[in-house]
Amino acid sequence: MPIVSAKEMLATARQRGYGVGQFNINNLEWTKAVLLTAEEHKSPVILGVSEGAAKYMGGFKTVVSMVEGMMEYYSISVPVAIHLDHGSFEGAKKAMDAGFSSVMFDGSHYPIEENIEKTREIVDLATAKGISVEAEVGGIGGEEDGVVGAGEIADTEECRQIAKLDISMLAAGIGNIHGPYPDNWQGLRMDVLKEIGETTNNIPLVLHGGTGIPDDMVKEAISYGVAKINVNTECQLVFAQATREYILAGLDQKGKGYDPRKLLKPGSDAIMETVKEKMTLFNSIHQA
């Protein structure tokens, strides 16, 4: 199956009450692990690519070619979208030109009028090409220079305004943050999420910062209209942990254990296990 826009897969997920995982990819191993897990468990999936990760992997075109080649090679039959994560205005345009099937334009740091104007422009370009667009209102917190920001709480009225554009999904800050949650985290503002879900015309909502949100909160969020859940750090943590164990056990020094195909296997297997656990939690298994 060719890569697809995320529009239909998320509209269906929202309608049927499950979530589709966006798993951020960092290299070939990551991409292969996510695609094979989605195929094995017959789950739709979104490959998230930040501008930084795209730069690391050799640019947007390299990413698109790698994903397309791999999908053909492994006969991937489930719906897969390649999605720009937290794109800038120029980055979103470049990703669309390079063949991404979905983009996020993160205008949450602009005043709402400017965010809406810029999002509208991206939507116009995207719609002509059948590409899905994610908009964001209310910033997502996270670590910057060692300080963990709490994350903003989106304004419901601003969500309602931006949802009037022809966007395919909306990310709204509800106290979620990227990376692990601090011990004193107050949890997701379910009251705000519920209100946003009720006032945005059934647009699939996006939950960023999927690492470390308790399972019951994830399920409750899905019940209020979340149809896409982003997971990045958790895969990085399990990959690093499994790789560390392999090396600390001296396995890289045994036989040809230094061969990257062996050295990176425990980490890749750990990503596959985490992706499967998330797909089970989001209830996207057997939905493709």
Q: What does DSSP assign to residue 18?
A: -
The residues pairing with 132 across neighbouring beta strands, listed in sequence order, are 102
208 binds ligand 13P, rule: CB under 6 A: yes
- How far apart are the C-alpha atoms of 23 and 271, rounded to whole Å? 10
85 is catalytic: yes
Region 126-185 residues binding ligand 13P, contact defined as CB under 6 A: 178-179
108 binds ligand 13P, rule: CB under 6 A: no
Q: Give me the residue label for tokens 């209102």.
A: 137
> How far apart are CB 288 and ligand 13P at their closest, in Å?
22
- Contact stretch for ligand 13P (CB under 6 A) within 10-18, 54-62, 226-234, 258-266: 226-234
Q: Which is nearer to ligand 13P, 86 or 189 (CB)?
A: 86
> How far apart are CB 91 and ligand 13P at their closest, in Å?
14
Region 232-271 residues binding ligand 13P, contact defined as CB under 6 A: 232-234
DSSP sequence for 165-211: SS-SEEEE-BS-BSSSPPTT-----HHHHHHHHHHTTTPPEEE---T
210 binds ligand 13P, rule: CB under 6 A: yes
Going through the chain in order, the beta strands assigned E by DSSP cover 20-24, 45-50, 80-87, 102-105, 132-137, 143-144, 147-148, 169-172, 205-207, 226-231
Q: Residue 79 CA to chain centroid, in angstroms?
A: 15
- Catalytic member of 85, 155, 191, 269: 85
Q: Which is nearer to ligand 13P, 179 or 257 (CB)?
A: 179
- Contact stretch for ligand 13P (CB under 6 A) within 31-39, 110-118, 228-236, 257-265: 228-236
Cα dihedral 74→127→138→20 (10° resolution): -30
Pick one of 26, 31, 115, 211: the residue that binds ligand 13P (CB under 6 A): 211
217 binds ligand 13P, rule: CB under 6 A: no
94 binds ligand 13P, rule: CB under 6 A: no
Token pair for 169 = 């999904």
Which residues of the chain form contacts with ligand 13P (CB under 6 A)?
A: 24, 48, 85-86, 178-179, 208-211, 230-234
Active site residues: 85
